[in-house]
A and B are shown apart, each in its own frame.
Chain A
């Protein structure tokens, strides 16, 4: 049995879009309201944006050894389409050698930690070494995202992005055919170990908290759904020291390792066909990553801070490039009729919230919520700064600032315990 699927979700497949009869006009449909709260972009309203998207306000993109280009586009072929996901290319080398492979369309996720690559995207014969668990047997991992789990082996690689290198670090090689998926892994939800299920060729988690599991998986009391010691096809739960866990690669660069900046220029409220941005490594370590006047807000051990919105104090809020919408609860905004949870106000709503770090530093944030059906009605745009959805669970203490928050901003991610010109992480600054 298949879940209900609304045709306009299949954005990236033109044939399906046409066949399902969704609006396919070439021109953009404007949202009902003026996008007064969004930052002014360089391209103006209306009209298709050129391939490659917009550049910064002065017309130039950041450049340098520590700059990796990011792109928001339709995603890799075969992954079913994508909206408001930013992708990066990552090079993996067999440690200490020049035998390397570059993988494109790795999604950038500030909501998790660690590099995960689909084994199916590496050529046969390209074999990375596999570290052992403390048992002496090879190390496997089940990583639980909220929408499913990735399963596979832990591998060791020199990870190269732009001019930065993280030498011999652990990563997860996602592979449904590795050993046998343990029952306490598969019991957490849906497998997403293929390109079609995962939606990208890999993911790079650049959360402030560096190891992907932390003390929870390092505890000598074995916890399910984390790391495994695999003998043949049989894998058993095993504890793994923090130093051996799959972790945010940035922390292991030889330089520019104290954090990163995500930069995306502003776009019209109606969206953009694609969007080019940058991931700049380091904070205050080079001429292109200074904090400037950004407001530094420290976060807790889960990356959370407080958002005050509609009179509510939401204490487990966070910024997450790996969520493709602004996600929060607001019963005053109409939801789309298909029950997907996306918002569909009759006209764009302009709102304000206040974010507050653990350090007490506050910043007001203006944002817009557009009608999702209208945004997707164009059928080919992949970037929107006003896409929003209900948070959707019993948790009423979270405002998840997803990828739309990153558009038109420089967002700084200060890593846990790392000193920067803005103080010690973990923090977010913008």
Chain B
């Protein structure tokens, strides 16, 4: 899949593994948020992404670069749980894949509070989502409050 038109100038990290094709509809939603680090590899394969891993102050940050130009960061706690996900890119990502069982809350959420169609704030059951986006530019984060390592300020330290 060519990447010539990725508006944000993202470049696939071809030195890391980019596997397979995006499987499209009909696959099982595999847990990533809230799941273990092995599930990140499954996300990578299903989304056709390249992946890089970086040590951070509290655990690891796994970066997935999707063919659509979206960059996803999955934060893994020292206890081995994916406690937060952030995304940024020209399209919304496949949140069903990334949020796993937490996606159902997003799909069913009430429309309130509203701040127009270009922002979203959602508080669910042990789930927080914040996102903003308008044409060509979407960014957001989702986290599981009960899994966030102590001392990590989700708002300040995750990108």
A-B contact count (CB 8 A): 196
A382 within 8 A of B: no
Which residues of A lie under 8 Å from residue B40 when comparing CB positions?
A: none
**Is there contact, CB below 8 Å, between A5 and B110?**
yes
Question: Which of B12-20, B52-60, B114-122 is the contact stretch?
Answer: B114-122
Mask, B100-123, CB within 8 Å of A = 1, is: 000101111111111111111111
**Is there contact, CB below 8 Å, between A320 and B91?**
no
Which residues of B lie under 8 Å from residue A304 when comparing CB positions?
A: 137
A354 within 8 A of B: no
**Is there contact, CB below 8 Å, between B86 and A394?**
yes
A327 within 8 A of B: yes
Which residues of B lie under 8 Å from residue A83 when comparing CB positions?
A: 114
**Is there contact, CB below 8 Å, between B133 and A392?**
no
Which residues of A lie under 8 Å from residue B136 when comparing CB positions?
A: 214, 216, 301-302
Taking the closest CB of chain B, its distance from the CB of A47, in whole angstroms, is 28
| Separation of A392 and B139 alpha carbons in the complex (Å) | 10
**Is there contact, CB below 8 Å, between B114 and A82?**
yes
B74 within 8 A of A: no
Which residues of B lie under 8 Å from residue A341 when comparing CB positions?
A: 115, 121, 130
Taking the closest CB of chain B, its distance from the CB of A109, in whole angstroms, is 7
**Is there contact, CB below 8 Å, between B96 and A186?**
yes
Interface size on A, residues (CB 8 A): 72
Which residues of B lie under 8 Å from residue A1 when comparing CB positions?
A: 105, 124-125
Which residues of B lie under 8 Å from residue A324 when comparing CB positions?
A: 114-116
**Is there contact, CB below 8 Å, between B116 and A323?**
yes
A51 within 8 A of B: no
| A216-B90 in contact given A6-B113, A146-B133, A341-B130 (Cβ < 8 Å) | yes
A259 within 8 A of B: no
**Is there contact, CB below 8 Å, between B114 and A146?**
no
Contact of A302 among B7, B88, B103 (CB under 8 A): B7
| Separation of A148 and B96 alpha carbons in the complex (Å) | 13
Interface residues of A, dominant DSSP: loop
| Separation of A100 and B96 alpha carbons in the complex (Å) | 40
Interface residues of B, dominant DSSP: loop
**Is there contact, CB below 8 Å, between A393 and B1?**
no
**Is there contact, CB below 8 Å, between A184 and B25?**
yes
Question: Which of A56-64, A187-195, A265-273 is the contact stretch?
Answer: A187-195
Interface residues of A (CB under 8 A from B): 1-6, 9-10, 80, 82-83, 85, 109, 111-113, 144-148, 182-184, 186-192, 196-199, 203, 207, 209, 212, 214-216, 219, 221, 223-225, 301-304, 316, 318, 320, 322-325, 327, 339-341, 389, 391-395, 398, 400, 402-403
Which residues of A lie under 8 Å from residue B7 when comparing CB positions?
A: 216, 301-302
**Is there contact, CB below 8 Å, between A327 and B115?**
yes
Taking the closest CB of chain B, its distance from the CB of A17, in whole angstroms, is 13
**Is there contact, CB below 8 Å, between A187 and B94?**
yes
Specify the chain A residue showing the minimal Cβ separation from B154.
Answer: A394
**Is there contact, CB below 8 Å, between A188 and B92?**
yes
| A3-B124 in contact given A113-B135, A209-B135 (Cβ < 8 Å) | yes
Which residues of A lie under 8 Å from residue B133 when comparing CB positions?
A: 144-146
Contact of B25 among A9, A182, A320 (CB under 8 A): A182
Which residues of B lie under 8 Å from residue A320 when comparing CB positions?
A: 116, 118, 134
**Is there contact, CB below 8 Å, between B114 and A189?**
no
| A398-B132 in contact given A146-B118, A146-B119, A182-B25 (Cβ < 8 Å) | yes
The 10 closest A-B pairs by CB, nearest first: A183-B25, A146-B133, A145-B117, A187-B96, A147-B120, A302-B136, A323-B116, A392-B130, A111-B134, A395-B139
B9 within 8 A of A: no
Which residues of A lie under 8 Å from residue B132 when comparing CB positions?
A: 146, 327, 391-393, 395, 398, 400
| A111-B118 in contact given A5-B112, A223-B91, A393-B141 (Cβ < 8 Å) | yes
B26 within 8 A of A: yes
**Is there contact, CB below 8 Å, between B105 and A323?**
no
Which residues of B lie under 8 Å from residue A190 when comparing CB positions?
A: 106-109, 111
Contact of B117 among A148, A183, A212 (CB under 8 A): A148
Taking the closest CB of chain A, its distance from the CB of B151, in whole angstroms, is 18
Taking the closest CB of chain A, its distance from the CB of B87, in whole angstroms, is 9
| A192-B111 in contact given A4-B123, A225-B92, A341-B130 (Cβ < 8 Å) | yes
Query: What would 12 A/B residue contacts be, using CB atoms closer than 8 Å?
Result: A111-B116, A112-B117, A144-B92, A197-B111, A224-B91, A301-B7, A316-B137, A322-B116, A389-B115, A393-B131, A393-B141, A394-B141
